[in-house]
Chain A
Amino acid sequence: DIQMTQSPSVMSASVGDRVTITCRASQDINNYLGWFQQRPGKVPKRLIYAASTVQSGVPSRFSGSGYGTEFTLTISSLQPEDLATYYCLQHNSFPLTFGGGTRVEIK
């Protein structure tokens, strides 16, 4: 199975800060990576697919980059509503695997 390692597992930032979350794959997954946001008590929501394509309706402060084994999710200017846990998901090969999640807290 492909292991997806996210870092950090928890982070705290102020409103307006630039936030970067990293996801590393244990082997090459091309660009078969998605990012999901799960707000407290809510269902996950897709933010990014194909590593860098922003889902329709997602604010432009969210962006994704990377290829192969290293990927990043960036929030250019953190907003209060971005309080959530973020997960990456590889779908290059079965079984699909999620990263462990990054909880983003607002200072």
Chain B
Amino acid sequence: EVQLVESGGGLVQPGGSLRLSCAASGFTFSDHAMDWVRQAPGEGLEWVGRATHGIHGYTTEYATSVKGRFTISRDDSKNSLYLQMDSLKSEDTAVYYCTRVPSGPRGPIDSWGQGTLVTVSP
């Protein structure tokens, strides 16, 4: 069974930093690209970014709203995905979900974690 468990959320002041982690289990982590998705309170879903996968390393992609402030990384030896968030703004307040991208031509995100709440407030 695919399991994705996020951690690291909490309260942070505007301009501050926070690092989220996602522990993956139940599948071969290194075979999958991984995405972060967020959802502000009472709002819709917003894709944050992706860490691709591959034997020669990985690349990253970001939403326009977070590019230059957020950094996604992964450690396949630890089956873990990370989201480093810097220069945080109030509009970054959201539940952050770790998600799995299926391998092959099987579409977008097929598994979600339970999410971790990040609150940016003075």
**Contact: B112 with A91, CB < 8 Å?**
no
- Consensus secondary structure, chain B interface: loop
Cβ contacts under 8 Å, A43 to chain B? 97, 112-115
Query: Interface extent on A, as a size class?
Result: 20 to 34
The complex places the Cα of A99 from the Cα of B44 at a distance, in Å, of 8
**Contact: B107 with A87, CB < 8 Å?**
no
Task: Decide yes or no whether A97 CB sits under 8 A from chain B.
Answer: yes
Binding site for B on A (CB under 8 A): 1, 32, 34, 36, 38, 43-46, 49-50, 53, 55, 85, 87, 89, 91, 94-101
* Besides the known contacts A43-B112, A46-B108, 8 further A-B residue pairs in the complex with CB atoms under 8 A apart: A34-B109, A38-B45, A44-B112, A46-B110, A49-B106, A85-B44, A98-B45, A98-B46
Binding site for A on B (CB under 8 A): 35, 44-47, 49-50, 61-64, 97, 105-110, 112-115
